[in-house]
Structure 1
Amino acid sequence: MVENYDDALSFIHGRTKFKKSDHLNRMRQFLELLGNPQKELSAIHVAGTNGKGSTVAYLRDLLMSQGYTVGTFTSPFLIRFNERISVDGEPISDSELIKLVNRVQPVVADLDAHYPEGGPTEFEIITAMMFLYFKSQVDVAVIEVGIGGLLDSTNVFTPVVSVITTIGFDHMKILGNTLPEIAAQKAGIIKQGVPVVAGRLPESAMQVVETTAAKNNSPLYRVGYEVTTKIKSETGWQEKFDYQFGDQQFKGLTISMLGDYQVDNASCALTAFIIYQTQRHQIVRSADITRSLAKTVWAGRFEPLNQEPLIVIDGAHNEPAIEELRALLKQRFSENEIYVLFSVLADKQHDKMLATLRTVPNLHIILTTFQGPGTRAVTDPKALAAQYDEDDRIEVIDNWQMAIGVILQRMSAEDLFLITGSLYFISDVRAFFEEP
């Protein structure tokens, strides 16, 4: 029995992080012993290299606008672990978390003792707790895949709709080294006869998704094909676009998250929402959609922490996300000097990420380091800077708090200060800015 919150977290975080496996039998056995709560859920499943979190947030707000109680399962968290399992945007309470740990603990001990491959991993335990909690709490759940899809421990239920937001290079050690290999993992969430919504995927990845959908007789709705959007040029902190899907047409929708890719994420969410409502024979009201999309925010995605000077955090933590960030900077901030404070986990494509950032002309890059999560190493900023000796726009300040002070002294009121490279890093930065 765990008595308090810290013990509950110690139990969860004390588990093995990852066990390579080519099946989900242990997860299924685990859920069976818990009474298969996943079978009683109405849920939408969201996979993708990037954009999952924002898409989940748009979907949550769209569904809540209809009076549904909505569970969301996301990772990682920005401030507290409890954010990962939320209902109507409110993280699970400490007391409920303790209850869930006490519910799963004896089952975990049983599997540890008797299951041939050993007991469940940390993520499998969190996933099982989420299924148990949502079963009794929500009308509908929006469940984000951890890594990949096919072998992810969330991939043990039949959703009402599956969503694949983007496919790019990340987690290659686990998912494969080519886009079709990675796409095959993401497309693993496609279930027999269940509709699939896909964002703008590279052609080789889209072919895999199309083939998998056809094999499963799953209707496929692709942004840029069956779903069309037209972005209007916009000033201020918003994007404006028209949207069409079948006979559903909405003009002048606005979202408060910047970037063309956020229009794609919102379009994926809106399409999944329309399919969900249609399957339930519910009407889709234009006013609800307009209001809902306009108010959605997702912490850590090009999120302004301060207005004058403009300080923004962005959780871009892989090469495809940095590509999107570069496009946004060139489109919206070409007239501004941009100071970037950059730190990244060592297992990411840090050299490619930095090379991409360097192509933005009006940029000053300060490389730094931070305390990584658990045992994960952070890229050495000096070693990274050494690759770009000739670029005088790149410098190293090891202490990130000190780096923030230095940058704030250098910049003027019109400049942009962007902090990026890792979700874990911006989580620390956010806490630093929120300290009284």
Structure 2
Amino acid sequence: MSEQQQPDPFDDAEDTDGVDNVHEPDVFDEIVDAETDRDPDLAVIEAGSRTLRTQAGPPQGDQMPTRPADPEVDKALREVETDLATRWGETKLEPSVSRISALMDVLGEPQRAYPSIHITGTNGKTSTARMIEALLGAFELRTGRYTSPHVQSITERITLDGVPIAPERFVATYHDIKPYVEMVDAAQEFRLSFFEVLTGMAYAAFADAPVDVAVVEVGMGGSWDATNVIDGSVAVVTPIALDHTDRLGDTAAAIAGEKAGVIKQGATVILAQQPVEAAQVMLKKAVEVDATVAREGMEFGVVSREVAVGGQLLTLRGLGGEYEEIFLPLYGAHQAHNAAVALAAVEAFFGIGEQHARTLDMDAVRSAFASVVSPGRLEVVRRSPTVVLDAAHNPAGAQAAADGITEAFGFSRLIGVVGTSSDKDVKAILEAFEPVFTEIVVTQNSSHRAMNADELAAVAVEVFGDERVVVEPRLDDALEAAVTLAEEEAEYAGAGVLVTGSVITVGEARLLLGRG
């Protein structure tokens, strides 16, 4: 869309304010963990309980892709997934953007065909990206969004105008860039990784669409992340916490140092509330590259919030003024803060700030936020009893989920279904949930990196005590057990189930519960 065609975003009346491959680096394995190490057929899941499926109710329009109905398209998509999966093994290698840079070069630098908003941080990146996408779409800009990992289908990772890329287009994009990928593979010491190829596909698809703006979430870190070949005019940093400490560092400051790599010369940085040491690192980086910084709690933030039916009602202070009566159909204080960050990012993209103290069109902002969905983030997928899914996979995420479900639902009895990856701080995750779970059913997902259910149970017993822990290695059995425990509550409507611990666990539970 040309500059002349873009709508005025302002409201003048409101201007008051797989297969192992020895050529791949291990730094990508968390990304791939959530993308490629699942069995494409999900045999365990497909064998799941029909009772769970039939009781779940119909999907609620969350735009989550399913397997293609056309057998030929499905076959082609599976072939691409299998081909990509052969790239996911790893060796010891210092992280680098040299391979993705080489791919961009031979593709003609597609990532420079549109402006970008680049998002890093530890928690909240995908929800924030979805909110930014919705806000930009409300002003009639064509958007491309690249997020990771996916919940159910690999095609979720690349969206155009808020809709996951069609399987046919995903396959075509892969085959379009495959010759160039092979060219780079042949010239580099190490082959392109799964994530690098998928990033190249996203940037090529966005240029081909074409999009007016790309909303890009890092896979991990920032400096050496494959997405970091873009020059985001707006860099967003969601809350930083300890995660991936073996790769990013074991302090908030060290992690912030890696993530600060997305801040480019002259950019605007939208900084969510951070640990002091992380904020200091970010501010120092901004000074070095002459970037402008807007801080949550200073230049923008949440003015007020109250729980509402189906979500929460917010008043947000943006860079140009206040936005009242914003309904956000997501639960938890953390989502309100994500909304404030998203709003400030879009204001910055449109040039609102100290020199342009005007608000975006209020009706468009309200409409955009009211349309936001974030699958697997305190998502209700069943009633009677209520089953909620949340992809929390680190202690900070677990605490946010525990606080959010307590505030929004007030269950008299809450049963946890937890399946985690083996490389997480599992004890700290369970400790965050201990005050809110009446009982916990420990299980495991289909990933080869899932923590064994018996090992997880041993940790759970330390936290919850033996009498509150149930072990069900199969996820379908775990869901059945949790529902049964919830139904034992005398006041049946007051009981609920929370499925959590991993994006993969949540994605497979979604399938079992008829959402995909």
TM over 0.5: yes
CA drift at 1:92: 1.5
Confirm whether residue 324 of structure 1 aligns to residue 400 of structure 2: yes
- Distance in 2 (CA, whole Å) between partners of 1:227 and 1:328 is 22
Structure 2 CA distance, aligned partners of 1:395 and 1:231? 40
Q: Is the 8 A contact 1:111 1:118 kept in 2?
A: no
Alpha-carbon distance, 1:355 to partner: 1.6
Distance 2:462 2:176 in 1: 51
1:411-426 correspondence to structure 2 within 5 Å: 411=486, 412-426=492-506
The 2-side partners of 1:73 and 1:325 are apart by 24
Pair 1:382-2:462 in alignment: no
Q: Is there any run of 5+ residues in structure 1 with no aligned partner, and where?
A: none
What is the distance in 1 between the residues matched to 2:339 and 2:237? 13
* Residue 230 of structure 2 is aligned to residue 165 of structure 1: no
The match for 1:83 is: 156
Please tell me the root mean square deviation across aligned C-alpha atoms, in Å.
2.2
Q: CA deviation at 1:391?
A: 4.7
Alpha carbons 1:341, 1:366 under 8 Å: kept: yes
1:24 maps to 2:100: no
**Length-normalised TM-score, structure 2:** 0.79
CA change 1:17–1:202 in 2 (3 A) is farther
Offset at 1:389?
7.3
CA apart distance, 1:435: 6.9
Identical amino acids, percent of aligned pairs: 28
Corresponding residue for 2:23? none
Corresponding residue for residue 421 of structure 2: 345
One-letter amino acid of the counterpart of residue 204, structure 2: L
Q: For 1:47 and 1:328, locate their aligned partners in 2 and report how far apart those are by CA, in whole Å.
A: 22
CA contact (8 A) 1:191 1:216 kept: yes
Query: Kindly tell me: are residues 324 and 387 of structure 1, through their superposed partners in 2, closer, same or farther at Cα, counting changes over 3 Å?
Result: same
Shift in Å, 1:96: 1.9
Q: Is the CA contact (8 Å cut-off) linking 2:136 and 2:346 kept in structure 1?
A: yes
- Residue 305 of structure 2: aligned partner: 232
Q: Could you tell me how far 1:293 is from its partner in structure 2?
A: 0.6
- TM-superposed CA distance for 1:247, in Å, is 3.3
Shift in Å, 1:318 = 0.9
Distance 1:214 1:278, change over 3 A: same
1:40-79 alignment, distance < 5 Å: 40-79=113-152
The match for 1:192 among 261, 265, 270 is 265
Paired residue secondary structure (1:197): strand
Change (3 A) 1:388 1:288: closer
Cα distance in 1, alignment partners of residues 372 and 318 from structure 2: 21
Distance 1:54 1:317, change over 3 A: same
- 1:15 pairs with 2:87: yes
Q: Give the conservation status (yes or no) of the 8 Å contact 2:300–2:317.
A: yes
Q: Is the 8 A contact 1:385 1:395 kept in 2?
A: no
- Asked if the contact 2:120/2:259 (under 8 Å) is kept, the reply is yes
Rounded Cα–Cα distance in structure 1 between residues aligned with 2:499 and 2:332: 17
Task: Indicate conservation of the 8 Å contact 2:301/2:337, yes or no.
Answer: no
The one-letter code sitting in structure 1 at the alignment partner of 2:412 is N
In structure 2, what is the equivalent of residue 142 of structure 1?
A: 215
Residue type of the partner of 1:363? T
**Within 5 Å, which residues of 2 pair with 1:256-267?**
256-267=329-340
SS in 2 for 1:287: helix
Is the deviation greater in 404-413 or in 130-139?
404-413
Counterpart position of 1:296: 372
SS at match of 1:289: helix
Q: Which residue of 1 aligns with 2:386?
A: 310
Residue 392 of structure 1, CA deviation: 2.3
Q: Which amino acid aligns with 1:424?
A: I
When structure 1 is superposed on structure 2, of 228-237 and 217-226 the one drifting more is 228-237
Greater displacement, 277-286 / 299-308: 277-286
Q: CA deviation at 1:233?
A: 2.9
Q: How far has the Cα of 1:267 moved from its partner?
A: 0.7
Question: How far apart are residue 234 of structure 1 and its match?
Answer: 2.3
Partner amino acid for 2:165? I
User: Paired residue for 2:52?
Assistant: none
TM-score using structure 1 length = 0.93
Q: Which has the higher contact order (CA 8 A, sep 6+)?
A: 2
Separation (CA, whole Å) in 2 of partners of 1:264 and 1:44? 18
Q: Distance in 2 between matches of 1:262 and 1:198?
A: 15
Q: CA separation in 1, counterparts of 2:475 and 2:182? A: 42
Alignment partners' CA distance in 2, 1:435 and 1:133: 27
Q: Residues 86 and 247 of structure 1: is their aligned pair in 2 closer, same or farther, counting only changes over 3 Å?
A: closer
After TM superposition, the structure 1 stretch with the greater mean CA deviation from structure 2, 407-416 or 294-303, is 407-416
